[in-house]
Structure 1
Amino acid sequence: MTSYTLTVPVTFQKDGQEQTAYRRVGAVFENTKTADGEVFLSIKLDFPVAVTELVAFQSKPKDGEDGDH
């Protein structure tokens, strides 16, 4: 099962330059229905989020894991 880190992009000014940081707000899990093999996504939020844009990045493997969760 593939998982992604769900983030919110935050734009700010630093040293006169516009930069974007990504704050974690949850996780996205890619699942497969066993009956027909259809893939679907399950989203788990860390806390209630009131934003207009969410960005998901594929999770990085933890020590001792191969990357597929």
Structure 2
Amino acid sequence: MTTYTLTVPYEFTKNGRTERRFRRVGAVFENTRKETGETFLSIKLDFPVAVTELVAFQPSPRDGDEPPIDD
């Protein structure tokens, strides 16, 4: 199963430059139906989100974390 980090992009101005960051709002899980082999995504939000755009990234490994395992 592949897991993605779900984020919301936002822009701000710092030192006269516009910068873009991505705030985590949840996770996306890629699953496969055993009966048909069909792939589907499950989205789990960390909290209620009222936005018009969500962006999913594969998570970055952190110190001591194992890389994601793909089935």
**TM above 0.5:** yes
Using a 3 Å threshold, how does the CA distance of structure 1 residues 32 and 9 change in structure 2: closer, same or farther?
Answer: same
Aligned equivalents of 2:65, 2:17: Cα separation in 1: 38
RMSD over aligned CA atoms reads 1.5
1:60 and 1:67 in contact (8 A); partners too:
no
Deviation at 1:64, TM superposition (A): 5.0
Alignment coverage as a number of residue pairs: 69
Q: Percent sequence identity over matched residues? A: 64
TM-score (norm 1): 0.90
Instruction: Show structure 1 runs of 4+ deviating over 3 A.
Output: none
TM-score (norm 2): 0.88
Unaligned runs of at least 5 residues, structure 1:
none
Using a 3 Å threshold, how does the CA distance of structure 1 residues 64 and 15 change in structure 2: closer, same or farther?
Answer: closer
